[in-house]
Structure 1
Amino acid sequence: MSTLLPIAGTTVTALDAGWRMAVAEAGAFGRPSDLDGSLVWHQAKVPGTAADALADAGLFDPARPEPLHGKDIWYRTTIRPQRPGPHRLRFEGLATIAEAWLGGSPILASSSMFEASEVDIDLAGEAELTICLRALQPHLAKRGPRARWRTQLTPEQGLRLTRTTMLGHMPGWCPSIHAVGPFRPILLVRPGSLAAEDLRIDARLTEEGHGELAVSLKLAGIVPHLAISCGGETSAMREMPDGRYEARLTLENVKPWWPHTHGTPHLHEVVLEAGDERLSLGRTGFRRIEIDKGEDGKGFALRVNGTRIFCRGAVWTNADLLRLPGDAASYRPLLELARDANMNMLRVGGTMVYETAEFFRLCDEFGILVWHDFQFANFDYPVSDPEFAATVEREAQDFLHVTQGSPSFAVACGGSEIEQQAAMMGVSREKWQGPLTQEILPAACARLRPDIAYVANSPTGGAMPFSPNEGVTHYFGVSAYRMPLEDARRAEVKFAAECLAFANLPEAATVERHFPPGPGHSPEWKALIPRDRNTGWDFEDVRDHYVEALYGVKPLDLRYGDPESYLDFGRAVVAEVMEAVFAEWRRAGSRTAGGLIWNFRDLFPSAGWGVVDATGAPKSALFALKRAFRPVALALTDEGTNGLYAQLANDTADTLSFRLEISCLNGGAVPVASGALDLEIAGRSSRAVPVTEVLGAFFDATYAFRFGPPAHDVTHARLIDAASGIVLAEAFHFPRGRGAAMHAARLDVRCETGAGGNAVVVLATDRLAQSVHIRADGYLPDDNWFHLAPGSERRVTLRRLPGTDHAVSGEIGHLGSKERFSYSAG
């Protein structure tokens, strides 16, 4: 099902004004005529949720949510058509058990949050539209076909029978903010003389570099001359045997769409010509998506336009758990953060909601690949029930229609952790998979998005579905399972669709705003730390483990006696771990082809899994990932008695020339060995360079041979663009550990006024300063939580954020010193 295209006089009006909402006891009122004066009505936004409307009225606290799935939620508004006559009402998404009436007459009954509904109506004038979202709780108590396993993700096993989001139903993951309401638009469509719908756009890039475009749609009414134009080419549409109209175009040597890390995400407008009318069908891009499993069939890599792409990014979390928005204004600032952090892929997991056309349009524009799970996770779903299977098919069709023509959509996945949950519960291998992910969903993709890759489940492959050395995995060896950093290589990860979960600490401004007593002194702090259900540990414990492992300090002692340092070490360690793991995965010769962090954004203020906090501010982890994900990247890897290697990656299409400089420093200040090497790196390739080749002679940079006491405590590498002299990347290695290289460095700081209200902080140091962190309330640094080496200045741009009306000022600190260095503009 797809919305009518606005041609030949067809008008589409969003019913987004004049809505009121009321909460009633479950089953208290059967129909609108039963409603009485006992209900209290509140203004409500549509699209929106009941929780959001109640929060606006001061009756709902997202930090202490009261369950809504045991209530009936009523919405009503008045429709005022421009002209009387036949219309169509389209409900893009109602959460979840919904009934609707027009003027008191029933017009709709819906039981899926993920299925759009359309109703033909005849309007003589104004009419009242009433919607009731029935209490979900009774439906969750229903019993269906016997499940072969029970998930540990949620105690509400009835969710397997009801097509609704798992958000709000996963203890330890997110608060119990239940999705109730018309969370997607409600549209009033007045058909014109020509009804056009069921639009399909298939855009592909051939191996010869040509763009092939196929556009088809259904038409009803008087059909004028129809044609499709794109990229300067036009083709008439012709009627096909099935009654659809189709046009095919070939654009020779078209500019292809690339992930932004590897090229330009070129987009081309598609225009429908209907008689004298021209209607934009949106923009599309030409690219080719393939899965490469390697010669042994055990790998997993994504090829775009024939090029193997190292996919890096995060698992996407909704822009706002309270509102569940789907508009571009809500998405844009978050997706800009992802793009600017050099992420080239976001995955929408099976525990969320289907994302909207606006989400995909922005990812198209920004060059961000999308891996999108169908909204199935962990459960044994009853697809043997014909009615349930039909609901799944309609749901899949609705979602795939939304994505028509989107080049960013790269991978559709049957769901999240279904195979894993079955395997972990001891279910035999032949029962891990079934018709849902092996037949119904891939068939829908083949029909409606044949240009994308399909993966049955995440994770999948290997001796166990979650085995990291084959197929797609969810890798938490480093992080949740407290493995040493070396496990990132030992595990032989092929593609991590989830990885590296920590309780990532927000920056100071967010902590101070939401937890004034501070961590360890606020009773709410620990309660909001994410944890897996029924475990005796949480992800703050995991983070603390790595603080001790990497720095040799006792987190519990810091938390008791020096809470500020406790926070600083916690922020620093997740940044260090993430950079180290991706250095392993991106090194030359690695078979790892991707890693997506669990996850992108916190759903509420806390030290959550997100690398962006609930206010939209980056955390230390995001800055680390920005460095690790650079298209032109540098890292240092310890190869034991093979020595230290500089790992260089060039994702751009061009061969680039660099100067690689290496300095081994004693006391973080005195060079005991140094050298430089001029080199070239071919486009879209990686290269490993032995540090001894740069130094020109043997030097035990990894301290593997132990010939006497170590001569240095840090190795610093810089990659400098040969043409401009600009430092493109830096990397550090600590042969005796980070704790042994902790110095009370003195920072020289000055602040310069930049363009557009921005500022620039200029830093220099007398010796290595680890994890330098800049506080700049109201401004966003372009880098933070980075190491600063002596010998040169570092310039950090501070971008003024919207709404900031004060000049920049703040403090700068680093690990190893309690001293803070103040700065201000002017």
Structure 2
Amino acid sequence: MLQATPLTDGWIVRHPEGATAALPASVPGCVHTDLLAAGVIPDPFLGRNETEVAWVGRRDWTYETDLDAASAHEQTDLVFEGLDTVAEISLDGQLLGRVRNMHRSYRFDVTGLSGRLSVRFASAYAEAEAVRGKLGERPAAYAEPYQYIRKMACSFGWDWGPTLVTAGIWRPVRLEHWSTARIARVRPLVTVEQGTGHVELAVDVERTRVEAPLTVEAVVGGVRARAEIDGTDGVVRIEVPDARLWWPRGYGEQPLYDVELTLLHGGDALDVWRRRIGFRTVELDRRADADGTGFTFVVNGLRLFARGVNWIPDDVFPSRVTRERYRERLRQAADAGVDLVRIWGGGIYESEDFYDACDELGLLVWQDFPFACAAYPEEQPLRGEVEAEARENVVRLMPHPSLVLWNGNNENLWGFRDWGWEPRLAGDSWGEGYYLGLLPRVVAELDPTRPYTAGSPWSGSWEWHPNDPAHGTHHSWEVWNRDDYAEYRANVPRFVAEFGWQAPPAYATLRRALPGEELAADSPGMLHHQKAEDGNGKLRRGLERHFADFEGDFDRWHYLTQVNQARAVAAGIEHWRSQWPVCAGTVVWQLNDCWPVTSWAAIDGDGREKPLYHELRRLYADRLLTLQVRERGLELAVVNQAAEAWAGAVRLRRMSVEGVVVGEVNVGFGAQGRAVARVDVPKELEPAGPKEFLVADTGALRAVHFPAPDREVPYPRPEFDVALAPGGIVVTARTLVRDLLLQADRLHPDARADRGLVTLLPGEEVTIGVRGWETPDAEAARSALYCMEPSR
């Protein structure tokens, strides 16, 4: 039987020219984390330390350990699951090979060898600049040369991320000892038809003895099958009767089946391959209709409105992201009502731990190939690397039922058309051959069970603009960059794959990241941890459209930016969900952060939930009430994504800001399962000017409509009582209290509230659960409560 020996101990890292003494190294890991552990560099996440460690990415680095490959087996392989990025591997001075792709694994025959194993990493900058010099300049959204190297693009910095260009053995490394033959690759095709699950396992083997007769035996769901290996490959097929369907979160259960495939020589087991699979069908409905060209996920025959978030690497040093951290972050997503996670193209193909968690949680995965915001050369040495990494990762990720879409790139087709690339390229290659040629061919050959789309955004054809909202996927960034968030309601895209609004991280995150700094919107550390072009200017202009009296008071500014982020995303999602089935999904930019930064994330770089996170729980719930301004007047949209029909009555109240009910009526509604019902608000209940607002209630659901921006609303001075309750506090309003927020991390860095923004009418109360609060105190809680106040 194949034996695997992890190589985790005894590693050192050093700069080849001797400028840095040999230091202990962690494998998996990277040079930054090793230097940080040794105290050689400061934490690049704190203050402005990022700039002090920029030299690390410009150096070459060597990892070394002693290796003894002696074994009674016929062959021993040295296996690297991931090397970041350009490296030369040698053993006792003998060159084993050279590599240049972070997104691939590598295997070297070291049978009978021993000595000093050396992995020498060249600076990613040096490699990228050399390829640029050979192939010529290509335009990109950022000045760093990330498109010339097959490496996580955002390690070169992004509009939410630091520039920390890594190197190292970032995924596990091991020795594999084996005899006769081993399993080189298993490509599982999993389908289901009329209740029967079909599993086809295409097996490739590597041999040491050509003449040895080989058999593969597979077991799935208690069903066993065998097949002979003809030369170096074979296929074993299994039918599983009464297969239980795997469903996305909220639509059913997520049954997973263990698959075990054993390679046999006679009665001897030589190698074993184990995975988990799920039976489900997935289609992408891209048919033309009266509204344009659709983009609707269909799972097990059911059409879905996708409630999505974009995922970036959870740490700029991805080797630090553990199985537990993946699970925590993805559990946060599921708890917010998310059912789709898009892995963005400037990052990586994530580890098995990510997809395992999505399989178990019922989170659909949209996987970008790693291309983002740049023109990518299609010549060698890049083209061969792109094909090799695509082939490896398509097969690696195929077992996961959560994976439902392969996407060619992020924003490159749009960039070619709109960002001035076409004239600059003057006929040079830029990636179109990957997105419309190579990658769809690879997916069609290896994984025909899943759809492929050429890019995001992509209209489906050059006949239309790549970002045409009426066709395919759409990225809505004009609103954040130039307009008020009310403009989200100006159109109805078929599928919104990116949109978002910025806000700073939680207060405790800022305090940790900027120690000793007097916080202000434009303080040095705050500006350094704001990577977006004119980011603070856009934040300010967004606030000016709605609020007064926010400058010069950091706490007020911090609260209002959080409110604005939540309201902006709510404006988009409420409008687009109310337009189902024309609009078939929203994917918020973004779920998470890779360090403490002002960004579009719902969960900040320290894992703390912003108010946006809690707002997503409301927006992505199966049932949603929303008040929408239409040409004919106010409309109540009753959004029902549950399978069961929803009928009842909504209490509509036209109220003054002093809390007086000006008018009231109950209106009935009925929404079929997976449908939207629309009810016109009676004209006499529409608010008249900034002193009035409309409230719609049914059960525990509420929608509120204020017709004027907050700066024009004559809010009363908020009055409320605060009392301790088991596990939290109770707030009782004596006046209108709009957008009340408990910033629990101001009570204790570990404290978390179980809800975000809430609007209370006079006499109403809310219980806010708080965990991680060591010494509960009502007055302390009051000091951490924020809400809308009258303009001064």
What CA distance in whole angstroms lies between the structure 1 residues aligned with 2:471 and 2:715?
39
What SS does structure 2 have at the residue aligned with 1:699?
A: helix
8 Å CA contact retained: 2:669, 2:677: no
| CA drift at 1:417 | 1.8
Aligned pairs for 1:228-307 (under 5 A) are: 228-232=218-222, 234-239=223-228, 244-272=233-261, 281-296=274-289, 298-307=293-302
Structure 2 partner of 1:773:
741
Instruction: Using the aligned pairs only, state the percent identity.
Output: 23
5+ residue gaps, structure 1, are 1-8, 29-35, 533-537, 693-697, 704-708, 721-726, 754-758, 820-826
Structure 2 partner of 1:189:
176
Structure 1 partner of 2:453:
455
8 Å CA contact retained: 2:376, 2:430: no
Give, as a single letter, the amino acid of the residue that structure 1 aligns with 2:692: D
Mapped pair 1:718 → 2:718: no
Change (3 A) 1:39 1:489: closer
What SS does structure 1 have at the residue aligned with 2:130?
A: coil
Structure 1 partner of 2:200:
214
Structure 2 partner of 1:6:
none
What CA distance in whole angstroms lies between the structure 2 residues aligned with 1:655 and 1:323?
44
Give, as a single letter, the amino acid of the residue that structure 2 aligns with 1:544: R
Structure 2 partner of 1:824:
none
8 Å CA contact retained: 2:315, 2:593: no
What SS does structure 2 have at the residue aligned with 1:363?
A: helix
| CA drift at 1:525 | 1.3
Greater CA drift, 168-177 or 78-87: 78-87
What CA distance in whole angstroms lies between the structure 1 residues aligned with 2:485 and 2:63?
54
> Which of 405, 418, 437 lines up with 2:435 in the alignment?
437
- What do the CA deviations read for 1:115-154 (whole angstroms, capped 9, x no partner)? 2110111246x63321110123332322559879732422
> Which of 574, 592, 612 lines up with 2:565 in the alignment?
574
What CA distance in whole angstroms lies between the structure 1 residues aligned with 2:379 and 2:20?
42
What SS does structure 2 have at the residue aligned with 1:517?
A: coil
Mapped pair 1:23 → 2:11: no
Aligned pairs for 1:352-501 (under 5 A) are: 352-385=347-380, 387-423=381-417, 424-425=419-420, 427=422, 434-461=432-459, 463-485=464-486, 487-501=487-501
Structure 1 partner of 2:673:
683
| CA drift at 1:276 | 8.9
| CA drift at 1:10 | 1.1
| CA drift at 1:18 | 2.0
What SS does structure 1 have at the residue aligned with 2:698?
A: strand
Mapped pair 1:583 → 2:574: yes
Change (3 A) 1:438 1:279: same
What CA distance in whole angstroms lies between the structure 1 residues aligned with 2:560 and 2:443?
46
What CA distance in whole angstroms lies between the structure 1 residues aligned with 2:623 and 2:272?
41
For normalisation by structure 1, the TM-score amounts to: 0.85
Mapped pair 1:629 → 2:620: yes
Aligned pairs for 1:59-78 (under 5 A) are: 59-61=40-42, 62=44, 63-64=49-50, 65-78=53-66
Structure 2 partner of 1:49:
30
What CA distance in whole angstroms lies between the structure 2 residues aligned with 1:666 and 1:792?
16
Give, as a single letter, the amino acid of the residue that structure 2 aligns with 1:769: V
Structure 1 partner of 2:507:
508
What CA distance in whole angstroms lies between the structure 2 residues aligned with 1:472 and 1:780?
36
Give, as a single letter, the amino acid of the residue that structure 2 aligns with 1:810: A
What SS does structure 1 have at the residue aligned with 2:541?
A: helix
Structure 2 partner of 1:87:
76
| CA drift at 1:167 | 2.0
- What do the CA deviations read for 1:10-47 (whole angstroms, capped 9, x no partner)? 122321222111124xxx4xxxxxxx7x6511111111
What SS does structure 2 have at the residue aligned with 1:167?
A: helix
- What do the CA deviations read for 1:275-334 (whole angstroms, capped 9, x no partner)? 697967222112222122243352222222222222233221112113444541231211
- What do the CA deviations read for 1:484-532 (whole angstroms, capped 9, x no partner)? 51x2232332222221242x12222222333341124632212321224
8 Å CA contact retained: 2:456, 2:474: yes
8 Å CA contact retained: 2:498, 2:588: yes
Change (3 A) 1:43 1:111: same
Change (3 A) 1:80 1:773: farther
Change (3 A) 1:480 1:342: same
What CA distance in whole angstroms lies between the structure 1 residues aligned with 2:309 and 2:390?
23
| CA drift at 1:172 | 4.3
8 Å CA contact retained: 2:314, 2:593: no
Aligned pairs for 1:800-815 (under 5 A) are: 800=772, 810-811=781-782, 812-815=784-787
- What do the CA deviations read for 1:75-109 (whole angstroms, capped 9, x no partner)? 11223568455311111111111011222322121
For normalisation by structure 2, the TM-score amounts to: 0.88
8 Å CA contact retained: 1:199, 1:404: no
- What do the CA deviations read for 1:49-88 (whole angstroms, capped 9, x no partner)? 1011111112223132323232111111223568455311
- What do the CA deviations read for 1:133-189 (whole angstroms, capped 9, x no partner)? 0123332322559879732422244x4332222223246442220121111111211
Aligned pairs for 1:541-560 (under 5 A) are: 541-551=537-547, 553=548, 558-560=550-552
8 Å CA contact retained: 2:375, 2:431: no
8 Å CA contact retained: 1:771, 1:787: yes
- What do the CA deviations read for 1:655-689 (whole angstroms, capped 9, x no partner)? 34555333222225222223345655332222223
- What do the CA deviations read for 1:719-761 (whole angstroms, capped 9, x no partner)? 32xxxxxx2x3221112334416343322333332xxxxx143
What SS does structure 2 have at the residue aligned with 1:616?
A: coil
Mapped pair 1:180 → 2:167: yes
Structure 2 partner of 1:592:
583
Structure 2 partner of 1:672:
662
> Which of 92, 97, 102 lines up with 2:86 in the alignment?
97
| CA drift at 1:579 | 0.9
5+ residue gaps, structure 2, are none
Mapped pair 1:141 → 2:109: no
8 Å CA contact retained: 2:728, 2:769: yes
What SS does structure 1 have at the residue aligned with 2:60?
A: strand
| CA drift at 1:396 | 0.5
| CA drift at 1:716 | 1.9
8 Å CA contact retained: 1:734, 1:741: no
Mapped pair 1:783 → 2:784: no
- What do the CA deviations read for 1:761-805 (whole angstroms, capped 9, x no partner)? 3333233312211132323222112323345433333344xxx76
8 Å CA contact retained: 1:204, 1:213: yes
How many aligned residue pairs are there? Answer: 756
Change (3 A) 1:192 1:679: farther
What SS does structure 2 have at the residue aligned with 1:416?
A: coil
Greater CA drift, 11-20 or 359-368: 11-20
8 Å CA contact retained: 2:8, 2:27: yes
What SS does structure 2 have at the residue aligned with 1:531?
A: coil
8 Å CA contact retained: 1:271, 1:281: yes
Change (3 A) 1:163 1:143: closer
Change (3 A) 1:369 1:137: same
Query: C-alpha root-mean-square deviation of aligned residues, in Å?
Result: 3.0
Change (3 A) 1:84 1:127: farther
Change (3 A) 1:261 1:605: same
Structure 2 partner of 1:699:
684
Change (3 A) 1:810 1:110: same
| CA drift at 1:269 | 2.0
Structure 1 partner of 2:149:
162
Structure 2 partner of 1:751:
724
8 Å CA contact retained: 2:124, 2:165: no
Mapped pair 1:129 → 2:110: no
What CA distance in whole angstroms lies between the structure 2 residues aligned with 1:665 and 1:256?
49
Give, as a single letter, the amino acid of the residue that structure 1 aligns with 2:513: H
Change (3 A) 1:276 1:716: farther
What CA distance in whole angstroms lies between the structure 2 residues aligned with 1:788 and 1:675?
20
Change (3 A) 1:95 1:82: same
Change (3 A) 1:749 1:209: farther
What CA distance in whole angstroms lies between the structure 1 residues aligned with 2:751 and 2:709?
33
Give, as a single letter, the amino acid of the residue that structure 1 aligns with 2:723: R
